[in-house]
Structure 1
């Protein structure tokens, strides 16, 4: 091989290497997109993740996202611990806390939060219960309340109502039904007397003759940090940059969502575009015209910058301990990694 040929060959090899390297680069400068699976429920309250995905915010952070959908919070926590899911956005559950105690999970941010002036979770009763006199939350004493599982957010809300109204927690009968859909069916048919749920579901149910609204959860749990962002302890400790990039994209999605449907500072056209985006994931089995109102009704505040209300998380942890659903030894440091977002 001649000197010129060897030189040309070496140059071509370098150029090829650079081309391959460039092809592997993402807009963020990392070699390749990190593939992550995000756990979610098909609720309007999970829209920050959907917006971040649809508008390319995850991609801009070098993340290739796939969603995995769940029917309740606790199975999502198990999926995080097992590695089947990388990030979850849902309510704190007993299962999540127990997995945190075992060193498997960390809460790294906040999502949905009750806020004065913004419609939040509503307390519902069946028409039969309402006609029998259950017209205020104080009247829930001696009646049944639907939950997905023991240790779920529904369980927590039922007991917080009992505490404020001054009757024993045992005087509200809990009915574990595993899935949100099953609870809805039981309420509409009068198999349970009461439930509490986010507004996009609550308002839709209240339009039907089988269900009545009797109160708001915000009156019983002010500032309630309804949902949180969580990941595996391994991600939090060994891949903090991955967590930061996820939260950055998630927060941009939350900003867009809040501007369109909570603060309503965007134009009518931009608001409708947001609803249509969410409709791909929420009430997707309904025509847009029938889904639009329910999606708009579910627009609760998603915390800016994934800010976390630690006082609310502490209250939830204290309740879990009081019910002996989690070990008394679990601390906030065990459950929460506060290094990623601002906290209250």
Structure 2
């Protein structure tokens, strides 16, 4: 049933599984848990599988193509959870005031043509990967923060990040909200201009760890071991954000940098991670109140059939 989960006949061998992520700094807890041996200590042999859009991670986890997903929360994930196919287990990144966040980007030509402030972007075409992605929700909340009617947004979907980047660079869309490192790479290349992090305008629960509800029912020890190792990686990663001068921070940043920026030298990669790492709750707790708000918004915009109770889709009992 679970293509991603293979138990062996010998008790002393590791359980093989796959975890789906995007190659972003917010996936850092997974990278650290693998690099530091936290997964192996829990009896798990974890393969990291990279995706180009968060909704496809949720679909892969629900189908058993991967065992766990650690990525942004989307309408697709919420619909699968409401249908009893996915369960959210722990938090990942959050947008939080005073911390780096996903960046509001404007095509450079448009910026030089006068689209140089938040108030000016909403009449321009906005690009995202898929409807129901976090940036869809963020764009609407950003409009609300500026007292702009969100139903006036001109939204175009491009299915994955490479397509979205190409559309933004070419001017097919004027603006987008994109996470580091892609956002910072675009800025460094001169293709876009940042109007600042989204976290300057609002906070929300951006991402989570989730698995199929069937795995949760059938293999609770595997779930317990994974969550325990993930939580250790989360605690190490949180030092980058919460204690940037602590002794463990450089090592954690270098570890994440190797995965996110494999083409860069270690110190440059670590510096980019230090400058852009999103806030995380070091215990893995979720902002349940914000998830409830997200569910209401997705339902109001026709992306959810109905609003499930949060305790129907969230199970944090494995967190310590």
After superposing the two structures, state which structure 1 stretch, 203-212 or 74-83, moved more.
Answer: 203-212
8 Å Cα contact 1:36-1:63 kept in structure 2: yes
**Alpha carbons of 1:291 and 1:182: their partners in 2 closer, same or farther (altered >3 Å)?**
farther
Distance in 2 between the 1:55 and 1:230 partners? 21
Match for 1:250 among 230, 237, 241?
Answer: 230
Match in the other structure for 2:27: 46
After superposing the two structures, state which structure 1 stretch, 185-194 or 275-284, moved more.
Answer: 275-284
Mark the runs of 5 or more structure 1 residues left unpaired by the alignment: 1-22, 27-31
Q: Please report how far the alpha carbon of residue 211 of structure 1 lies from its aligned counterpart in structure 2 after TM superposition.
A: 1.3
Distance in 1 between the 2:169 and 2:242 partners? 29
Match in the other structure for 2:280: 302
Distance in 2 between the 1:252 and 1:103 partners? 28
Q: Give RMSD over aligned pairs.
A: 2.2
8 Å Cα contact 1:45-1:298 kept in structure 2: no
Distance in 2 between the 1:341 and 1:132 partners? 50
**Alpha carbons of 1:285 and 1:178: their partners in 2 closer, same or farther (altered >3 Å)?**
farther
Q: Please report how far the alpha carbon of residue 289 of structure 1 lies from its aligned counterpart in structure 2 after TM superposition.
A: 5.8
Mark the runs of 5 or more structure 2 residues left unpaired by the alignment: 1-8
Q: Please report how far the alpha carbon of residue 121 of structure 1 lies from its aligned counterpart in structure 2 after TM superposition.
A: 1.7
Distance in 2 between the 1:227 and 1:56 partners? 23
* Equivalent residue runs for 1:272-291 within 5 Å: 272-288=250-266, 291=269
Match in the other structure for 2:88: 107
8 Å Cα contact 2:181-2:260 kept in structure 1: no
Q: Does 1:173 align with 2:173?
A: no
Match in the other structure for 2:218: 238
Distance in 1 between the 2:273 and 2:163 partners? 20
Distance in 2 between the 1:329 and 1:258 partners? 31
Cα deviations across residues 197-221 of structure 1 (Å, max 9, x unaligned)? 2243333322333311113312333
Match for 2:140 among 159, 168, 179?
Answer: 159
3-state SS, counterpart of residue 318 of structure 1: helix
Q: Please report how far the alpha carbon of residue 271 of structure 1 lies from its aligned counterpart in structure 2 after TM superposition.
A: 4.2
**Alpha carbons of 1:260 and 1:162: their partners in 2 closer, same or farther (altered >3 Å)?**
closer
8 Å Cα contact 1:262-1:300 kept in structure 2: no
Q: Please report how far the alpha carbon of residue 248 of structure 1 lies from its aligned counterpart in structure 2 after TM superposition.
A: 1.1
Distance in 1 between the 2:197 and 2:138 partners? 11
Q: Please report how far the alpha carbon of residue 332 of structure 1 lies from its aligned counterpart in structure 2 after TM superposition.
A: 1.8
Match in the other structure for 2:192: 211
Q: Please report how far the alpha carbon of residue 262 of structure 1 lies from its aligned counterpart in structure 2 after TM superposition.
A: 4.6
Q: Please report how far the alpha carbon of residue 303 of structure 1 lies from its aligned counterpart in structure 2 after TM superposition.
A: 2.0
Cα deviations across residues 318-340 of structure 1 (Å, max 9, x unaligned)? 11101111112533233222433
8 Å Cα contact 1:40-1:69 kept in structure 2: yes
Cα deviations across residues 289-308 of structure 1 (Å, max 9, x unaligned)? 65444333332222212111
3-state SS, counterpart of residue 191 of structure 1: coil
8 Å Cα contact 2:240-2:277 kept in structure 1: no
Match in the other structure for 1:14: none
Cα deviations across residues 135-157 of structure 1 (Å, max 9, x unaligned)? 22221221111100011111111
TM score, norm. by length of structure 2 = 0.89
Larger-gyration structure (1/2): 1
Larger proportion of helix: 1
Q: How many residues align?
A: 312
3-state SS, counterpart of residue 77 of structure 2: helix
Match in the other structure for 1:17: none
Distance in 1 between the 2:52 and 2:191 partners? 23
